[in-house]
Amino acid sequence: MADAAESMHACAECGGPLRPVQVKTLKHVLKYDLARRLEDGTFGYCPDPDCDIVYVRISPESGVGTSDQVFRQDDIKDRARPGVSGRERYICYCFGYTAGEIEDDAAQDVNAIPLAIARDVRAGNCACEVMNPSGH
C-alpha cells in the first residue's frame, strides 16, 4: 500500500497526516522571496485549514517528518492560503475564481464561470494540479 509510507509523516502542529507535494507547487504558492531560496526536496502538505503549518520539508534521513523547514500560513501568498474559507475560498487557483463568485454566478443562472473554466481547461491553460496548494 502506497499510503503506508506517507502516513508515517504527521504534522508537527496538529498531528494530522501530511500529503506529499512536489516542490513546484511550493514554488508557486510560497511568497516570492521564500520561493526563490527554496531548495529541491520532498515536502508534505497539511490539509487542515485551521492548522498554521502548511508545508513541511521531509528529511530523507529520518523519514518520520522531522523537519528542518516548516512553512506557515504567513509564508503563503494571500491568494493561495488554504486557511481562507467561505466566500473567499478559491475554487480555481489558476484563474482566481472564488466560491463567492461562483455562487453569485450560479444564482444568476448564467453559469459563465464554469463555462469559462471549462474553456480554459480545454485550451490547456489550467494548472490547478500545480497551483492548488494541495498539489492536486
The site for Zn ion (CB under 5 A) is made up of: 11, 13-14, 16, 46, 48, 51, 53
CB of 136 to Zn ion, least distance (A): 17
46/80 with CB nearer Zn ion = 46
Q: How far is the CB of 53 from Zn ion (least distance, A)?
A: 5
User: 112-122 vs 99-107: helix axis angle to the nearest 10?
Assistant: 120
Pure H helices in the chain? 3-6, 23-29, 32-37, 99-107, 112-122, 128-131
Look at residue 75 and give its three-state secondary structure.
helix
Neighbours of 80 (CB within 10 A): 19
CB of 5 to Zn ion, least distance (A): 19
Q: Between residues 10 and 34, which has the closer beta carbon with respect to Zn ion?
A: 10
Name which of 14 and 23 has its Cβ closer to Zn ion.
Answer: 14
